[in-house]
Structure 1
Amino acid sequence: MLRYLLPATLLAAFTATLPGRAQAQPEAPALPDQQLHIMAGFAAGGTSDLVARLIAEGVGNVSGRRVVVENRTGANGFLAAEAVVRSPPDGSMLFQCAMGTMTISSELPGMIMPIDPRKDLVPVANVALSSYGAVVRARGSYQDMADVLKAAKAKPNAVSYASAGIGTAQHLTGERLQRMASVQMLHVPYRGAAPAAMDVMAGRADFMVTNLGDVMGQIRGGELRLVALGDASMKSAFPKTPLLSDTVPGLEVVGWFGLCGSSNMPDPAIRAWAAAVEKALQDETLQKRLRENGLTPLYEGPAAFAERMEKDRQAWREVITAAKVRVD
């Protein structure tokens, strides 16, 4: 009996095409063996904390690992970020990073930060877009943004807008609004979105443009009237509400919440976390819970997330420079 021997390379190519002999795909790297943590820089109960806990639960469900959320408040989230930067470089601890902390604070003259988010942190995965909206007192005289701008044009600095503090997205959006609509309004900064919203409800401030997650309860309860959306991501939830850009062409604001790691975080750990977040966000229950709180589920991997950050830094830097905003 004659026997023919195929060359090894040809044999390998032939056998790979046989049924049941598909080439094995490389597995995603595993999450670090250490206890997994997400450090949240803001108080429990807020939108930032909510996102951290939802994604921790989601990653836990898909990985079979417990992910602990720890709140370390202060310095606009930077105390939590610093804890991550100073942690062992094994990728077991991430920072729940928000747009303001990552793209506004670093551009503000006078801002004192324990770390540099541009150098000390790396993007791991975006989790959700955070829609913004313009709200007024429900029982007040303003029915829409056109009413607000009409009053502002009639008497400079007579209309006031509240914010969560100097240099926040709420403040800077108000600065953009004034410049683009050619009006002058009075900025009233507060120590957080909650007290700002309370004064809008009480009539002590006329309106504010803020994260929808912070005022969804008041909108649903009839205490605040949503008169404009910052972008189209929540249009399906509020189909009758116009966009800010419908009144002020070109004016758009949308935030985000994601996960960042220390700059010395191992690449396999970055890829493992990103893969777990992507898989977690495919869960319909998680998606629903995010949307119920004014958030739009959106996975972006490290490269796309980094690109979003840099574009936002440039955009906010232009606003800060034009308005001559400084924190002391």
Structure 2
Amino acid sequence: MSARLRQGLVLGAALILAATAAMAQNYPTRPVRFVVPYAPGGSTDTLARTMGTKLSDLLGQQVVVDNRPGANGDIGMSIVAKAPPDGYSIVLGYIANLAIGPSLYDKMPYDPVKDFTSITQVAGASNIFVIHPSLPAKNFKEFIAYAKANPKKVTFASAGVASVGHLTGELLNDMAGIDMLHVPYKGSGQAISDLVGGHVKVMISGMASTLPHVRSGKLIGIVTTGAKRTPATPDIPTIGETYPGFESSSWFGVLGPAGMPKPVVMRLNADIHKSLQDPAVAKRLANVGFEITYGTPEQFAAYIQSEIKKWAKVVKASGAKPE
């Protein structure tokens, strides 16, 4: 390599680094698109909109929540995976897309590890087992007795095949010796609507979308799925109190396209953490069952990989197949 060529390459690299540093220092200079890969009204949407308002204030630019549902969340995830890695397209990833999908599908439209930049985990959440009041059961013990006496007559809705709600329901089928009939939907919104209407009888879902119906009396919350009772529902027991060792929780995190500049990642990481620490944001999220969890980008990336391994075993044991 000639000295002139080597000098040119060094100069080119220096210019690229300088441009990247300048972009990061000025970031953001325009609105940030915050993709939610699910329809409005679900837990993911609630979380994004709650933290997005405060995040707009901190960034000094509007954070625009962009719902892109479809294909069990893969459409929205793919949009961000293919976007320019400049920090202006981010996504609120969910356990189903990042940890369960790789074991369910032979081929996904994105790689949850290689095609994204992990920014931060933001929240975890116990799910809640809700039933329609028309069922002759008012608590978990009565429900299990009824389900055992009526195999395949209890219809249980989920947001889709191999969703967290579906897999948790199959785990309960196995552990409790019952046989609920799975009815998959394309998202939690329609599933909850049909549950409230009595067209299906039970569902395991996020609290953000179901607690309002429990509090209004349209649904009955009989158990939660986390390791311990939640502050939002202290009087509702966990499944683990009846079946020791049973635990299934959801988690959420913010990601961007692979290759984002480190300064932009750290700016988003810091401001997302600040938004979650805002008293009004924290209170609203706690009221609908979210537990705030955040850390470094590296911690979130490592967590995703550990969860992929964990859920691979669950998917295999459940026998779940893609629609």
TM-score range, shorter chain: 0.7 to 0.9
Q: What residue in structure 1 maps to residue 11 of structure 2? A: none
Deviation (angstroms), 1:311:
3.1
Q: What residue in structure 2 maps to residue 125 of structure 1? A: 120
Q: What residue in structure 1 maps to residue 266 of structure 2? A: 271
AA at the equivalent of 1:129: G
AA at the equivalent of 2:52: A
* Matching of residues 1-328 of structure 1 within 5 Å: 31-110=27-106, 113-231=108-226, 235-328=230-323
Query: In structure 2, do the counterparts of structure 1 residues 92 and 204 end up closer, same or farther at CA, with 3 Å as the change threshold?
Result: closer
Q: Using the TM superposition, name which of 204-213 and 266-275 deviates more.
A: 204-213
Deviation (angstroms), 1:278:
1.1
Normalized per residue, the structure richer in helix is 2
Deviation (angstroms), 1:233:
6.5
Whether the 8 Å contact between 1:128 and 1:295 is mirrored in structure 2 is yes
* Secondary structure, counterpart of 2:99 in structure 1: helix
Deviation (angstroms), 1:155:
4.5
Query: In structure 2, do the counterparts of structure 1 residues 232 and 250 end up closer, same or farther at CA, with 3 Å as the change threshold?
Result: closer
1:79-137 Cα shifts (integer Å, max 9, x gaps)? 22222222222222211111111111222035x53222222113211222233011111
Deviation (angstroms), 1:153:
3.0
C-alpha distance in 1 between matches for 2:62 and 2:195:
40
* Secondary structure, counterpart of 1:90 in structure 2: coil
- Tell me, which stretches of 5 or more residues in structure 1 are unaligned? 1-27
Over the matched positions of the two proteins, sequence identity in percent amounts to 32
Deviation (angstroms), 1:172:
0.6
Query: In structure 2, do the counterparts of structure 1 residues 309 and 233 end up closer, same or farther at CA, with 3 Å as the change threshold?
Result: farther
C-alpha distance in 2 between matches for 1:298 and 1:221:
29
AA at the equivalent of 1:226: G
Query: In structure 2, do the counterparts of structure 1 residues 139 and 324 end up closer, same or farther at CA, with 3 Å as the change threshold?
Result: closer
AA at the equivalent of 1:288: K
C-alpha distance in 2 between matches for 1:129 and 1:297:
6
Q: What residue in structure 2 maps to residue 19 of structure 1? A: none
* Secondary structure, counterpart of 1:106 in structure 2: helix
Q: Using the TM superposition, name which of 238-247 and 84-93 deviates more.
A: 84-93
* Secondary structure, counterpart of 2:113 in structure 1: helix
Whether the 8 Å contact between 1:175 and 1:319 is mirrored in structure 2 is no
1:201-255 Cα shifts (integer Å, max 9, x gaps)? 3444332211111212211110111000111566222221100111221111211
Whether the 8 Å contact between 2:55 and 2:271 is mirrored in structure 1 is yes
Q: Using the TM superposition, name which of 29-38 and 139-148 deviates more.
A: 29-38
C-alpha distance in 2 between matches for 1:192 and 1:67:
24
AA at the equivalent of 1:254: S
**Structure with max Cα Rg:** 1
* Secondary structure, counterpart of 2:162 in structure 1: coil
Whether the 8 Å contact between 1:32 and 1:90 is mirrored in structure 2 is no
* Secondary structure, counterpart of 2:183 in structure 1: strand
Query: In structure 2, do the counterparts of structure 1 residues 34 and 163 end up closer, same or farther at CA, with 3 Å as the change threshold?
Result: same
C-alpha distance in 2 between matches for 1:200 and 1:91:
39
Query: In structure 2, do the counterparts of structure 1 residues 224 and 106 end up closer, same or farther at CA, with 3 Å as the change threshold?
Result: same
Whether the 8 Å contact between 2:121 and 2:253 is mirrored in structure 1 is yes
Question: Structure 2 length as normaliser, TM-score?
Answer: 0.84
Whether the 8 Å contact between 1:219 and 1:226 is mirrored in structure 2 is yes
C-alpha distance in 2 between matches for 1:198 and 1:124:
33
AA at the equivalent of 1:309: I
Supply the RMSD in Å over aligned alpha carbons.
Answer: 2.3
C-alpha distance in 1 between matches for 2:150 and 2:136:
16
C-alpha distance in 1 between matches for 2:198 and 2:77:
36
* Secondary structure, counterpart of 1:119 in structure 2: coil
Deviation (angstroms), 1:76:
2.1
